[in-house]
A and B are shown apart, each in its own frame.
Chain A
């Protein structure tokens, strides 16, 4: 009797249990493997490129390591470049979760920096804490507004967001130049048109104890918060459903338009905040230095991280390190500064090509 029941229930028990409990792990392994293959492929291609030019790939790697992480100074340099990249990558990754490709983060950075400076100017003689708070809010609001326009155009007008955000980036840069070289210009800035400064007292200091760029904790916090938003809240789940299949999301009655607006606004807010921090920590005023290509490198990082905010952190450090090593490469190996851009382009092309690897290998697929 007893043995009979066990015999009859055992097969049904094994069926009720998930037949392949390692599948989630293998799926994660697939998500790590594909970009890794792409990075290795890009390195091989780039090595061939270097050998073709008569330069040694090993020297290159050595110099990149020295320039990016070799000393405390170079680590500070890397962090300084990576900090705004954390935020500008979020500007691409959050809308990316919804299947949108937003590439106008550059304008959100410069306009965010400009708005932060303008709002800080009447307050320069108050306390620094107030100035920083106002700058952060103003920068984020401006960035959210600017990328929000692209989201609104997509949601309400069905305008392609990639082209709209890029065109808006050019318009934003024109507005920035108009104000910085016009009404807001400090007459004392002769060679490099700038706005009035926020004052030395109001400059953000480096992080205490660590002595690194103050944008680093902000960027890391933003990445963690965005990760929680995307992977641990119902709003984030709805966003991922929308990114997976927009028609299915609409059929389910998910507020797709609102989600698009929200993702664009939060992403733009992050990029605008990056601009505000750059002004407060580095330049002290808004000028063309803000237009340093952080928005464009952010696109690459977001794609490298497959729009996962936690994966943005190592990728931002990697790309920030490459940027930090650029000067050393120029001096020691005589390579032009565009070398890093060639490498970035190669990485980008191979990372997108690696998308085709998903689902090609049986080993990663569910079994049983």
Chain B
């Protein structure tokens, strides 16, 4: 194979592998932000989810039990964030940072004994069975959680556009006054949206420890939980767009390692920064429109 297609193929492979946590966290963040609140704590949820999933998988032998446990852990941490931000005068951005610190702290504390042992990991689905090329087969080895993420994106899209719950979440996110006038339970709905969003982020963490990189250690997350905020801006608060945004961010993250496979090692650390630079560019492009940004929930504090 020539170098260019090698790089492109390994970027595709990397994109399919790396995008799943992005997808889950951005879907969770999308759900939370649609209700008019921002959750930077999803970074902590991601790390806690990874630890809980790995520990559960190690103790029970079942990786799917780990995924479930990660979702529950995310649900609890998200509920804490949602409940505290429901009190008057509490800043949701700062609270997110606190939840991030607390979540990572708890994960490192209880995760210490699980750094060494190896737990049962999630199996990959070989979509590349038709090819004789080992690289293609390797690239198309897809984690079942990726498919779950695609389904979740479709489900969220349907929920927002075709269900009563989705409509309520959108009303509360767009105009608190309208929601008050309609007598909707604002705090309860936001609590629900934040908790469910964090549960999704927890599943994203389970992917990190149970599929790729597929082990638990303290440097597992590289800020995916925070980049999700930018990703959701990029996706214009549309769950289907979150899929493309995640794939793009995944590909950007795979740039450095892909170039390394064909022998370009210069600037490895600079290429590592590629997804962050993409994030920044996305932020700048989307922020220039100011408040008139299409699709942005009106009550979101980052827009005010």
The finding on whether chains A and B are genuine partners in a shared complex, rather than unrelated, reads yes
Interface residues of A (CB under 8 A from B): 101, 103, 153, 157-160, 162-164, 166-168, 170-171, 174-175, 177-178, 181-182, 296, 299-300, 303, 336-339, 341-346, 348-349, 351-353, 355-356, 358-359
23 contacts between A and B (CB under 8 A): A157-B288, A159-B283, A160-B283, A160-B302, A162-B93, A166-B223, A167-B276, A168-B276, A174-B272, A175-B270, A177-B272, A182-B267, A338-B109, A339-B109, A341-B105, A345-B98, A345-B104, A346-B102, A349-B80, A351-B98, A353-B90, A356-B89, A359-B89
**B269 adjacent to A171 (CB under 8 Å):** no
A170 to B, closest residue via Cβ: B276
> 1/0 contact trace for B84-111 toward A, CB 8 Å?
1001111101110111011111101100
A353 to B80, CA, bound (A): 11
**B109 adjacent to A336 (CB under 8 Å):** yes
What distance in Å separates the Cβ of A48 from its nearest Cβ neighbour in chain B?
A: 14
**B95 adjacent to A352 (CB under 8 Å):** yes
Q: What residues of chain A lie closer than 8 Å to B98, measured between beta carbons?
A: 303, 345, 348-349, 351-352
Q: What residues of chain A lie closer than 8 Å to B229, measured between beta carbons?
A: 163
**B272 adjacent to A167 (CB under 8 Å):** no
Q: What residues of chain A lie closer than 8 Å to B172, measured between beta carbons?
A: none
Q: What residues of chain B lie closer than 8 Å to A303, measured between beta carbons?
A: 94, 98
**A160 adjacent to B287 (CB under 8 Å):** yes
**A356 adjacent to B273 (CB under 8 Å):** no
Q: Which of A175, A336, A348, A353 contacts B101 (CB 8 A)?
A: A348
What distance in Å separates the Cβ of B66 from its nearest Cβ neighbour in chain A?
A: 21
Interface assignment of B188: CB less than 8 Å from any CB of chain A: no
**B89 adjacent to A345 (CB under 8 Å):** no
**A163 adjacent to B101 (CB under 8 Å):** no
What distance in Å separates the Cβ of B279 from its nearest Cβ neighbour in chain A?
A: 5
A166 to B, closest residue via Cβ: B226
Within 8 A of A (CB), among B276-292: 276-277, 279-280, 283-284, 287-288, 290
Q: What residues of chain B lie closer than 8 Å to A157, measured between beta carbons?
A: 284, 287-288
What distance in Å separates the Cβ of B164 from its nearest Cβ neighbour in chain A?
A: 31
A177 to B18, CA, bound (A): 22
Q: What residues of chain A lie closer than 8 Å to B101, measured between beta carbons?
A: 296, 300, 341, 344-345, 348
A159 to B105, CA, bound (A): 29
Q: Is the interface of B mostly helix, strand, loop or mixed?
A: helix
**A174 adjacent to B273 (CB under 8 Å):** yes
Interface assignment of B227: CB less than 8 Å from any CB of chain A: yes
Interface assignment of B252: CB less than 8 Å from any CB of chain A: no
A103 to B223, CA, bound (A): 13
**A101 adjacent to B93 (CB under 8 Å):** yes
A296 to B44, CA, bound (A): 14
Q: Taking A336-B109, A341-B109, A344-B101 as contacts, is the C-beta distance between A158 and B273 under 8 angstroms?
A: no
Q: Which of B103, B227, B230, B283 contacts A345 (CB 8 A)?
A: B103
> 1/0 contact trace for B245-279 toward A, CB 8 Å?
00000000000000000000001111011001101
Q: Taking A348-B97, A356-B89 as contacts, is the C-beta distance between A167 and B279 under 8 angstroms?
A: yes
A99 to B, closest residue via Cβ: B91
A88 to B229, CA, bound (A): 25
**B277 adjacent to A171 (CB under 8 Å):** yes
Q: Taking A157-B284, A346-B102, A349-B99 as contacts, is the C-beta distance between A336 and B90 under 8 angstroms?
A: no
**B94 adjacent to A101 (CB under 8 Å):** yes
> Apart from A177-B272, A341-B104, what are 19 other A-B pairs with CB-CB below 8 Å?
A162-B302, A163-B302, A164-B283, A167-B226, A167-B283, A170-B223, A170-B273, A174-B273, A182-B267, A336-B109, A337-B108, A341-B108, A342-B109, A345-B98, A345-B104, A345-B105, A346-B102, A352-B98, A353-B90
What distance in Å separates the Cβ of A244 from its nearest Cβ neighbour in chain B?
A: 14
What distance in Å separates the Cβ of A335 from its nearest Cβ neighbour in chain B?
A: 8
What distance in Å separates the Cβ of B233 from its nearest Cβ neighbour in chain A?
A: 8
Interface assignment of B40: CB less than 8 Å from any CB of chain A: yes
**B87 adjacent to A342 (CB under 8 Å):** no
B100 to A, closest residue via Cβ: A345
